[in-house]
């Protein structure tokens, strides 16, 4: 089988490629990535010489390129996106370009080349927010209610994917997953930023009251869910993928990280809140469990420790990405406001 993976040099995409090559060594993978600030070929060092792996440097918004690459592929696994809420608040345009226009170009090429499966990686953030201290969860039938430019652009891409199924019969599947954590996460997202700031002797910025809740999933569990959907999923369906069953607030997570790293709470710095900050996410993943037999295999506390250890041991990786343009972003987000 031949897979075209988009955004495979990013956090989840690179974890997926490493996972897939281990589990399905005979399959061919072509990784199309623009290498934005978030793309890093260092993540894929261990497979770069594998004859079944090929990297193509390019933009999913380029219809000619995408069309030429899509010929003879069996499945498109579409990760490529602008993925960070705070950046979408600073400037939404790249989000509309890549997440909407790029997805459109890929769908057109999949239709043209009769690709056997188009799998779209999406987020639980398209459903908006849930109230704090409630038992409510997002389900397969939750209405869309995106509240940030990021989630609005992902919602638009989900709608396009569904429309290509109803209108043209394109064999699509969608997964809406909760927040991932693990190795190779760009240190602009909560876990990577908190751990690397602490390793640098800096404080951890906590937005607002810190009582926001996300549903956290270890990245390899997400990769396994995508594998199950690609191999056993029902065409036309959306699967919700999530992790924790108990709510945990951002500040509780930061305190766990502080304990693992032997630091005290003086390393927490409460900062101005994110505008339109979604209060709580929680996922009901019983459909993928019942239908495909998937459930998270990794324990949150163990993987949190392992993630801290990974960043501690890969200082060169995050020091490189935290230099250059990252500094500009950090100043705009945390200092100059
Ligand atoms: P990321 O920002 O780490 O990586 C995105 C990758 O896409 C990068 O390698 C980047 O170079 C590439 N890319 C961006 N624009 C491109 C373009 N125009 N053409 C080609 N490549 C381009 O993102 P991530 O955290 O790995 O997320 C991957 C996907 O999973 C996204 O679609 C995101 O919406 C979704 N998702 C992420 C999470 C999470 O917690 N990170 C949770 C649920 C869903
Ligand atoms: P993030 O990792 O950006 O993911 P998302 O916004 O897509 O859920 O943020 C996770 C949570 O952590 C979210 O509630 C915002 C909060 N947060 C902070 O409190 N401080 C930070 O420096 C960052 C990056 C996030």
Q: Tell me how far CA of residue 43 lies from CA of 38, 47, 151, 157, 302, in angstroms.
A: 11, 9, 26, 26, 22
Contact between residue 114 and residue 132 where contact means Cβ atoms under 8 Å apart: no
Selecting among 53, 150, 218, 311, the annotated active-site residue is 150
Class of domain 2-181+216-241: alpha beta
Residue ID of nearest Cα to ligand 1 atom 17: 59
The alpha carbon of 320 and the centre of ligand 2 are apart by a number of angstroms equal to 22
pLDDT, tens digit, 9 for 90 and up, residues 36-57? 999 999 999 999 999 999 999 9
Domain ranges of the chain: 2-181+216-241
Please tell me the predicted confidence (pLDDT) of residue 331.
87
Task: For the chain, list residues with pLDDT below 50.
Answer: none
Please tell me the predicted confidence (pLDDT) of residue 39.
95
Selecting among 33, 59, 125, 303, the annotated active-site residue is 125
- Angle, in degrees to the nearest 10, between helices 250-260 and 300-313: 60
Strand ranges (DSSP E) for 136-259?
A: 172-177, 179-181, 204-207, 216-218, 238-241
Q: Which ligand 2 atom is at minimum distance from the Cα of 150?
A: 7
Active site residue 124: yes
Please tell me the predicted confidence (pLDDT) of residue 337.
67
Please tell me the predicted confidence (pLDDT) of residue 237.
97
Ligand 1 proximity of 223 Cβ (cutoff 6 Å): no
**Which residue out of 99, 130, 190 has the highest number of ligand 2 atoms within 8 Å of its CB and is therefore the one to mutate?**
190
DSSP 270-283: EEPPPTT---B--B
Active site residue 125: yes
Please tell me the predicted confidence (pLDDT) of residue 325.
81
Q: Which contiguous run of DSSP H or E holds residue 107?
A: helix 103-112
Statement: the pTM of the whole predicted model exceeds 0.85: yes
Please tell me the predicted confidence (pLDDT) of residue 323.
85
Q: Tell me how far CA of residue 142 lies from CA of 122, 128, 225, in angstroms.
A: 14, 10, 20
Please tell me the predicted confidence (pLDDT) of residue 303.
97
CA angle 167, 168, 169 (to 5 degrees): 100
Contact between residue 217 and residue 290 where contact means Cβ atoms under 8 Å apart: no
């Amino acid at each position: 089988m031949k897979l075209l993976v988009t955004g495979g040099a990013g956090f989840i995409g690179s974890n997926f490629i490493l996972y897939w090559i281990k589990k399905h060594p005979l399959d061919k993978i072509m990784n199309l990535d623009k290498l934005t600030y978030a793309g890093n070929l260092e993540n894929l060092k261990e497979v770069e010489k594998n004859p079944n792996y090929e990297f193509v440097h390019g933009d999913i918004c380029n219809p000619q390129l995408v069309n030429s690459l899509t010929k003879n592929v069996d499945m498109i696994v579409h990760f490529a996106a602008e993925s960070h809420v705070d950046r979408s608040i600073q400037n939404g345009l790249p989000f509309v370009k890549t997440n909407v226009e790029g997805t459109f170009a890929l769908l057109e090429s999949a239709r043209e080349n009769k690709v056997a499966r188009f799998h779209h990686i999406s987020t639980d953030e398209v459903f908006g927010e849930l109230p704090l201290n409630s038992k409510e969860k997002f389900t397969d039938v939750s209405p869309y209610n995106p509240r940030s430019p990021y989630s609005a652009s992902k919602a638009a891409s989900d709608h396009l994917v569904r429309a290509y199924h109803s209108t043209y019969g394109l064999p699509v599947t969608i997964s809406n997953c909760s927040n991932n954590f693990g190795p190779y996460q760009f240190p602009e997202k909560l876990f990577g930023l908190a751990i690397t700031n602490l390793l640098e002797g800096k404080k951890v910025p906590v937005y607002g009251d810190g009582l926001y809740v996300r549903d956290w999933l270890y990245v390899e569990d997400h990769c396994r869910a995508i594998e199950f959907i690609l191999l056993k999923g029902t065409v036309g369906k959306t699967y919700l993928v999530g992790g924790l069953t108990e709510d945990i607030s951002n500040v509780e997570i930061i305190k766990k990280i502080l304990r693992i790293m032997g630091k005290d709470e003086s390393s927490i710095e409460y900062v101005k809140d994110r505008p339109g900050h979604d209060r709580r996410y929680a996922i009901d993943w019983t459909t993928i469990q019942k239908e495909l037999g998937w459930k998270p295999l990794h324990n949150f506390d163990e993987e949190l420790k392992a993630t801290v250890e990974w960043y501690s041991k890969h200082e060169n990786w995050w020091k490189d990405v935290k230099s250059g343009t990252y500094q500009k972003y950090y100043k705009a987000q945390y200092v100059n406001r």
